[in-house]
């Protein structure tokens, strides 16, 4: 295993090489953010500039962060890690408990536990910040603070020397002005990392497909030098897309043989020079197969017909599940925890949740059936607990809570067994349909009054194996009902 100092040394070499390359500014900064995050074993990194009034920060480069997090709203430099404005490196160990975090809910959804930030200084004046984000609580030692501060200095020099800096700054000043009024609003502007247009219609089509499935992507995030003449780069290759959740670069190609041959040559050369980089050259049929491999299409044997839209991607679900598990682990420290779930819909969520809970625990499953009329359904327990929960701390795990009637019945049943405590964790809360106000202690996502499927949830026995949660088309439900 590499020692930290060796890792930082390699990272400095890579970052310095990027700073001295002919890469466009934004691509160079994205590459620096990636190298920084990798060196600190962080899940993400962002580089931000201050507006002239030193009031707001605008993200101009990032790595590993979801589009949802990047679009969370205007970042107020005086509310979010304000000590960085004083020229200090700042570390937050637990973002959920620290008032210096402007958007704690967005951080929780992203799965961010700790943040380390450092100022970008030009002639002794703070012009921006660089931050790294971890998915577990972390006490950053001084060597990590020093590393990030040094990277910040390289980034600042890169910004200062780049001839396009003033143009870029003017563009982002205009963007910041527009976003200032959006800091507290749920509707968010498009990320500045998204292109205004694509180089080819196939790229736009692929991007729309990724957006439908809520798969995170960056367009042309990095350029790779392939050949040099002396000290100057003579050939570069910029893959079309980067998919962070798969750590995969994608280069799209048409059926024109000359283009395929040339791109194949560049991909082979890139793999030779950068063996750690995962890249694929794909045509339309290839990328449909790739998505199907990960369960995002009919070729994978997963039914997707009838999905109106994707509400939460697999990555979003996993991040939120980790955040819930972290809260549960803290709340139940030193206690005997039992997770109880109702078959079958909760299986996916239960399995992922318990993997991230850092406590000894046991699990129990129950099964129920419904009888009676459509207007007055009743619940019958067909499989009860296998062991006693008397005197134990019980956490009822639900896939979705809508009317609350079934959950209320189950909670009353569990309470009769005299557990030490009884609380509820649900992945989805369909509050619009609530009839009984049951207490929910841990909530993944609140959803609208729509029929949702995927990640264990089914419709007529199908869709359970979708890796995402999607809204089923009302038209499909009406057609099925009319049969």
Dihedral of CA 297/302/306/310: which sign? negative
Packed helices 25-39 and 4-19: angle between N→C axes, nearest 10 degrees: 180
Dihedral of CA 47/133/280/316: which sign? negative
Number of H helices, E strands in the chain: 13, 21
Token pair, residue 349, equals 């969520």
Cα three-residue angle 348-107-317, rounded to 5 degrees: 15
Parallel, antiparallel, or unpaired for β 421-429 and 241-243?
Answer: unpaired
For residue 310, the SS3 value is strand
Token pair, residue 43, equals 């899940």
Q: How many residues does the chain have?
A: 483
User: Annotated catalytic, 384?
Assistant: no
For residue 131, the SS3 value is strand
Is-contact 140 134, C-beta < 8 A? Answer: no
Alpha-carbon distance of 157 to 102, in angstroms, equals 28
What are the DSSP calls for 27-95, one per residue? HHHHHHHHHHHHHTT-SEEEEEEE-TTS-EEEEEEEES--HHHHTS--EETTTSSGGGGGT--EEES-T
Which residue in the list 402, 429, 437, 449 is annotated as catalytic? 402
Catalytic residues: 402
């Amino acid at each position: 295993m590499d020692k930290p100092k060796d890792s930082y040394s390699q990272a400095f070499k890579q970052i310095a090489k990027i700073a001295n390359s002919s890469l466009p500014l934004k691509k160079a900064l994205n590459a620096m953010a990636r190298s920084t995050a990798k060196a600190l074993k962080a899940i993400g990194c962002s580089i931000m500039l201050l507006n002239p009034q030193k009031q707001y920060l605008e993200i101009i480069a990032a790595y590993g962060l979801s589009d949802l997090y990047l679009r969370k709203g205007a970042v107020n430099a005086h509310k979010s890690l304000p000590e960085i404005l004083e020229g200090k490196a700042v570390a937050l160990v637990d973002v959920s408990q620290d008032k210096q975090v402007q958007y704690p809910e967005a951080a929780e959804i992203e799965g961010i536990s700790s943040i380390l930030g450092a100022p970008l200084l030009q002639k002794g004046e703070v012009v921006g910040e660089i931050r790294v984000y971890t998915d577990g609580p972390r006490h950053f030692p001084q060597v990590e603070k020093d590393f990030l501060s040094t990277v910040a200095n390289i980034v600042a020099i890169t910004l200062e020397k780049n001839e396009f800096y003033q143009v870029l700054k003017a563009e982002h000043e205009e963007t910041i002005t527009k976003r200032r009024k959006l800091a507290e609003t749920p509707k968010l502007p498009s990320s500045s990392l998204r292109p205004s247009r694509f180089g080819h219609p196939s790229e736009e089509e692929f991007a729309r497909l990724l957006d439908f499935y809520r798969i995170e992507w960056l367009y042309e995030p990095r350029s790779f030098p392939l050949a040099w003449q002396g000290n100057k780069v003579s050939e570069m290759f910029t893959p079309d897309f980067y998919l962070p959740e798969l750590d995969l670069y994608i280069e799209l190609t048409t059926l024109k043989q000359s283009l395929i041959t040339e791109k194949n040559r560049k991909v082979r050369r890139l793999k030779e020079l950068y063996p750690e980089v995962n890249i694929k050259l794909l045509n339309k049929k290839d990328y449909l197969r790739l998505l199907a491999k990960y369960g995002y299409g009919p070729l994978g044997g997963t039914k997707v017909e009838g999905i109106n839209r994707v509400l939460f991607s697999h990555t979003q679900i996993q991040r939120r599940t980790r955040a819930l598990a972290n809260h549960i682990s803290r709340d139940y420290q030193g206690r005997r925890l039992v997770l109880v779930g109702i078959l079958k819909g909760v299986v996916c969520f239960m399995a992922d949740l318990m993997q991230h809970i850092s406590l000894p625990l046991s699990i129990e499953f129950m099964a129920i059936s419904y009888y009676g009329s459509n207007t007055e359904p009743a619940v019958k327990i067909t499989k009860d607990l296998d062991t006693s929960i008397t005197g134990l701390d019980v956490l009822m795990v639900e896939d979705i809570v809508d009317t609350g009637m079934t959950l209320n019945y189950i909670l009353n049943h569990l309470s009769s067994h005299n557990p030490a405590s009884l609380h509820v964790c649900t992945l989805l809360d369909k509050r619009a349909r609530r009839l009984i106000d049951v207490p929910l202690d841990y909530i993944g996502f609140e959803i609208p009054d729509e029929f949702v499927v995927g990640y264990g949830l089914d419709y007529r026995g199908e869709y359970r194996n979708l890796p995402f949660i999607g809204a089923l088309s009302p038209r499909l439900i009406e057609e099925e009902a009319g049969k």
